[in-house]
Structure 1
Amino acid sequence: MIIVIQFVVGLVFGFGLLLSGMSNPEKVLNFLDLAAIPSGGWDPSLLLVMAGAVGVTFAGFQLVRRRQRPVLGERFHLPPSQTLDWRIAAGPAIFGIGWGLAGICPGPAFVALGYGSPAILLFVIAMMVGMAAARRVADRQPSLASALTE
């Protein structure tokens, strides 16, 4: 039953990405192109998508924090450490640069595979290779906090 619920949640998420335009790299790049504001080429519509996502996430976290355990699980899976680590700084920076260059991020990339675009397929393959390489590098590196205190 849990797998069915997860599948339905994934479908709703994917539908939301399609409906919002987040799976369309051109729309994302038009949003990120702030230099196009004076000419009227900037697309601010994704601000509404982000505002909606922040609102839903905030409300969800407020509800979750009141629970002793998840609805569909035995326990919450929280990070075991709160130590600042280099991945916390580098990961989002690399993610943002990649999103700005390609106009697509991982979730929408998987949804966009349905378009049958060779460019999207290449992006997803490169993303998976990059994730595997990052995992290998991260497993060999000490945390940033321990490096700063030594």
Structure 2
Amino acid sequence: MSVGDALLVVLALGVALLLGRGSHSLVAALLVASALAVSAVLFLPTAMLAGLVGMERVHGLYDLTRATPLDPPEWVHLIVFAWLGFLLWLARRDIRNWRGVALVAALGVAAELSQWLTDGRQPKVEDAALNVLGGLTGVLLGLVCCVVAARVRGASGESSG
């Protein structure tokens, strides 16, 4: 393990634990696991990830996304950060504000910049933009869920009162 690899492990663990801090233990575990999974997808060598998933599935993903403007790796950036943004917005009431939005955007950029520490990976502005877009999409989805849940609670309170 190189110094860069060790630094990435420490950073990934630190960020994962920071994201889970202050949450219910089950939610914290989900946040930590999700953050570590995102780190693995972004920092492990592409060939290793393809080997874990299986080349037939990789080809299937390319077939599935052929009609879209994005390739599977780009969709992965969007989806994993949308999940992270969504989960953070729902799980951490203390950052359901501009700080949460800024945190998700900063995580998207920082995750891409961290690829300088990995062998065989290069940070790309386009990938950082997809990370941020995915994260903000997840935050927006989380916000919609919170608004709908509040209205449902309000409506059920009015009907029972």
Q: Which has the higher helix share?
A: 2
Greater RCO, CA 8 A, separation 6+: 1
TM-score normalised by length of structure 1:
0.31
- Structure number with greater Rg is 1
TM-score normalised by length of structure 2:
0.30
